[in-house]
Amino acid sequence: PIQQDLAGQHWVITAGPTMEAIDPVRYISNHSSGKMGYALAAAAQARGASVTLVSGPTQLDAPQGVKRIEIKSAEDMLSACREAMVKPADVFIGAAAVADFRMKEVASQKMKKTGDSDEMQLTLVKNPDVIATLSQENTAKCMVGFAAETQDVIAYAKSKLERKGLDLIIANDVSRTDIGFNNDENQVTVLSKDQQWTPPKESKSALAIELVELITQYQSTK
Ligand code: PMT
């Protein structure tokens, strides 16, 4: 049996893509499968934490014993997280791939091809940064983000750690086709302000167990 040492703690974890409507039938999204975030939710729950999983659209079943809240857009994700953390959570993990932009105005009817132009322009506006907002609002004692990067992975991750006010950031090289988005395996580097850890490449579920342990150890030193 797994030790229930996280009993009494509340962890809030985001997972999957967001889906930003263009019109009633189209949307902007990305390749996140939710596997990484769901594995983290299962690993924290297995150690006794009460887990709220705020999830974009995925093919996955909610892990046993985890409370899942399903959302579509980044704005909905932010509201659902705030609601889950009215009482501050112990840990927040942002594993979701949140769309940085949404339509300025969602068309109320299906957009039509116009006969006279081969081009089409969509006007987008910035979405709220879910994790940076929650971090500013002190909604969790320990804030953990991911950084999906295709180049200068560590440097960009470090700057996100600072800019978004996080305790830890999990840097993911998404230029590699053998890890990251939609794969069953992943390899990451975890960074704090002054330390860094690189667990081996392994299944997302094995990695999630190690990440939950790392976060738990970091929490105890805070
Ligand atoms: O879902 P899988 O297929 O298993 O793939 C896992 C993953 C590659 C999606 C995951 O490991 C990962 O890297 N997730 C973060 C993806 C991402 O959007 O990274 P980012 O570098 O753009 O964002 C940095 C951090 O800010 C993330 O914690 C993200 O959740 C958060 N963010 C970003 C934009 C935004 N508007 N709001 C946010 O909260």
This model of the complex carries an ipTM of 0.98
User: Which residue puts its alpha carbon closest to atom 35 of ligand 1?
Assistant: 129
Active site residue 186: no
CB of 90 within 6 A of ligand 1: the answer is no
CB distance 38 to 207 below 8 Å: no
pLDDT at res. 15: 98
The reply, when asked if residue 110 is annotated as ligand binding, is: yes
Domains of the chain plus CATH, in order, are 10-104+122-221 (3.40.50.10300)
Structure confidence at residue 117 (pLDDT): 84
Is residue 157 in contact with ligand 1, taking CB distance under 6 Å? no
22-59: pLDDT as tens digits: 999 999 999 999 999 999 999 999 999 999 999 999 99
Residue 8 pLDDT exceeds 80? yes
Backbone phi, psi, residue 216, to 5°: -65, -40
Write the pLDDT tens digit of every residue in 147-195: 999 999 999 999 999 999 999 999 999 999 999 899 999 999 999 999 9
CA 103 to chain centre: 21
Answer yes or no: is the C-beta of 147 below 6 A from any ligand 1 atom. yes
25 among annotated binding-site residues = no
**Residue whose CB lies within 8 A of the most ligand 1 atoms, among 29, 91, 131, 182, for a mutation test:** 131
Cα separation of 187 and 202, whole Å? 7
Residue 208: exposed, middle, or buried by beta-carbon count in 10 A (0-12, 13-18, 19+)? buried
- CB-based contact 4:49 (threshold 8 Å): no
Confidence of residue 222 (pLDDT cuts 50, 70, 90): confident
